[in-house]
Amino acid sequence: MHFHLGLCDRSIFDTKYSWTWDKTGLYYIFRGYQDTMLLYNESLAEWRLEIYGRTDVYARVNSTRRTYPFGTLTWEVHGDEACQEGVKMLQLNVHGCNQTEYNCDDGSCVAINLRCDGKIDCPDKTDEVHCNLFEEDASYIKESAPLEEDFSTMNTENLESKKVDVDVEIDVLSFLEISEVDGFTSIQLNLRLTW
Ligand SMILES: [Ca+2]
């Protein structure tokens, strides 16, 4: 299984884990494919990410043990020097979702197409938060179709081919006036340009 920790790519902590039972046979522990172990420390009442042979490198989060440390929690990360210096409190999201799933803040997984679909699917409702599907850039002019995004790096020849395709829809609502004598027609219509 994969854990997505939210640490930098160079982090010393593993992202691939297998699971097994702990000594009590009641709880899982998770063994990284290389050097990391995710396990519960009973005396310290915390979940810990530990590196074999490195007491100076670990991450910890307080826990009552009743729940696994999945979802978004604030971890105290020590000695992950490739990502940050010293001790850092970091919001990490530990989950085992695959690429076709959205990971809820509580660590559970739902199908990615349920994200921002207007219905609550995550137990903690987080699939329906921050659903701003489009953030308008301050320079965006809605009346003017933009050029291709990478236009700035292009040769300025053949400008016409660098413009985005615009779909045009016209709904004729009514003919207000038709004057054959004056050669004049007045039409009420809806014009929709999309790109
Ligand atoms: Ca949803």
Cβ atoms 185, 179 nearer than 8 A: yes
Separation of alpha carbons 70 and 112, rounded Å: 18
Distance 122 CA to ligand 1 centre (A): 7
Q: Where are the domains of the chain?
A: 2-95, 151-194
Q: How far is CA 65 from CA 68, 95, 190, in A?
A: 7, 17, 61
Tokens of 23: 């000594």
Compute the distance from residue 28 Cα to the ligand 1 centre, in Å. Answer: 30
Nearest to 80 by CA among 94, 60, 95, 63: 60
Q: How far is the CA of 107 from the centre of ligand 1 (A)?
A: 15
> What gap in Å lies between CA 38 and CA 193, rounded to an integer?
54
pLDDT, residue 155, reads: 57
State residue 151's pLDDT score: 52
Residue in the structure block whose two tokens are 């998770």: 30
What pTM, to 2 d.p., does this model score? 0.60
Per-residue pLDDT of the chain (195 residues; tens, 9 = 90+): 777 777 888 999 998 888 889 888 888 889 999 999 999 988 999 999 999 999 999 999 998 877 888 888 899 999 999 988 889 999 888 888 888 899 888 888 999 999 999 999 999 999 999 887 667 777 777 777 777 665 555 555 555 556 778 889 999 999 888 888 888 889 999 998 887
Strand order in the sheet with 36-41: 17-21, 28-32, 36-41, 46-51, 54-62, 71-78, 87-94
- Alpha-carbon gap, residue 169 to 122, rounded angstroms: 38
**Alpha carbon of 125 to ligand 1 centroid (Å):** 8
30 closest CA partner among 45, 46, 15: 15
Cα–ligand 1 centroid distance for 95 (angstroms)? 18
Residue 4, φ and ψ in degrees, nearest 5: -105, 110
- Residue 99 Cα to ligand 1 midpoint, Å, equals 17
Report how far ligand 1's centroid is from the alpha carbon of 106 (Å).
15
**Residue 71 CA to ligand 1 centre (angstroms):** 17
Which helix (DSSP H) or strand (DSSP E) does residue 183 occupy?
A: none
- For residue 141, the CA-to-ligand 1 centroid distance in Å is 31
